[in-house]
Amino acid sequence: VVEPVAAQGWNPPSDAQRCPSKWGAGDTRGSANHVKPATVLAAMRLVKTGQIIELGRVLEGTMPVFGTRRFDLHTKRTVINPGRNRRGTNEELVISEIGQVGTQFDAFPHQMIGGSFYNCVPIEGNESRTGFGTLGVEGVGALVARGVLIDVAALKGVPVLPDNYEITPQDLEQALARQKLTLEPGDAILIHTGWGTLWNVDNARYVKTCPGIGIAAAEWLSRQDPLLIGADNWPVEVGPNPDPDLSLPVHQVLLVVHGIHTLENLKLDVLAAERVQEFAFVVQPLKIKGGTGSTVAPIAIR
Ligand code: UVW
What end-to-end distance do the CA atoms of the chain give, in Å? 32
In this model, does residue 1 exceed pLDDT 70?
no
How far away, in angstroms, is 2 Cα from ligand 1 center?
25
* Residue 9 resides in a domain: no
Residue-wise pLDDT tens digits, 65-123? 999 999 999 999 887 888 999 999 999 999 999 999 999 999 999 999 999 999 999 99
* Residue 80 resides in a domain: no
How many residues appear in the chain?
Answer: 302
Q: What Cα–Cα distance (Å) separates residue 91 from each residue in 60, 74, 261, 298? A: 15, 9, 32, 24
Q: How many CB atoms lie within 10 A of CB 288?
A: 17
Show the CA angle centred on residue 102, arms to residues 192 and 141, nearest 5°. 90
pLDDT category at 6 given cuts 50, 70, 90 is very low
* Residue 94 resides in a domain: no
Which of 98, 100, 101, 209 maximizes ligand 1 atoms within 8 Å of its Cβ, making it the mutation to test the pocket? 100
* Residue 135 resides in a domain: yes
Atom of ligand 1 nearest to the CA of 235: 4
Q: What Cα–Cα distance (Å) separates residue 58 from each residue in 184, 197, 255? A: 31, 14, 25
Question: What is the percent of the chain where pLDDT is above 70?
Answer: 97
Q: What Cα–Cα distance (Å) separates residue 100 from each residue in 59, 69, 146, 168? A: 11, 8, 25, 26
* Residue 272 resides in a domain: yes
Phi/psi of residue 284, nearest 5 degrees: -135, 105
In this model, does residue 234 exceed pLDDT 90?
yes
Of all protein residues, whose CA lies closest to atom 5 belonging to ligand 1? 235
The confidence score (pLDDT) of residue 9 equals: 80
Domain range enclosing 176: 15-59+99-301
Of all protein residues, whose CA lies closest to atom 3 belonging to ligand 1? 235
The confidence score (pLDDT) of residue 297 equals: 98
Which of 234, 236, 265 maximizes ligand 1 atoms within 8 Å of its Cβ, making it the mutation to test the pocket? 234
Q: How many CB atoms lie within 10 A of CB 199?
A: 19
Residue-wise pLDDT tens digits, 169-221? 999 999 999 999 999 999 999 999 999 999 999 999 999 999 999 999 999 99
Q: What Cα–Cα distance (Å) separates residue 283 from each residue in 26, 56, 80, 183, 296? A: 25, 10, 37, 19, 7
Q: How many CB atoms lie within 10 A of CB 221?
A: 26
Of all protein residues, whose CA lies closest to atom 4 belonging to ligand 1? 235
Q: Rounded mean pLDDT of the chain? A: 96
* Residue 291 resides in a domain: yes
How far away, in angstroms, is 112 Cα from ligand 1 center?
13
Domain count, the chain: 1
* CATH number of the domain within which 230 lies: 3.50.30.50
Residue-wise pLDDT tens digits, 50-62? 999 999 999 999 9
In this model, does residue 5 exceed pLDDT 90?
no
* Residue 216 resides in a domain: yes
How far away, in angstroms, is 118 Cα from ligand 1 center?
17
pLDDT category at 8 given cuts 50, 70, 90 is low
What residues does ligand 1 touch, defined as CB less than 6 Å away? 66, 100, 104, 106, 110, 234-235, 248, 251, 264
* Residue 208 resides in a domain: yes
Core vs surface per residue 129-158: b (16+ CB within 10 A) or e: eebbbbbbbbbbeebbbbbbbbbbbbbbee
CA 59 to chain centre: 16
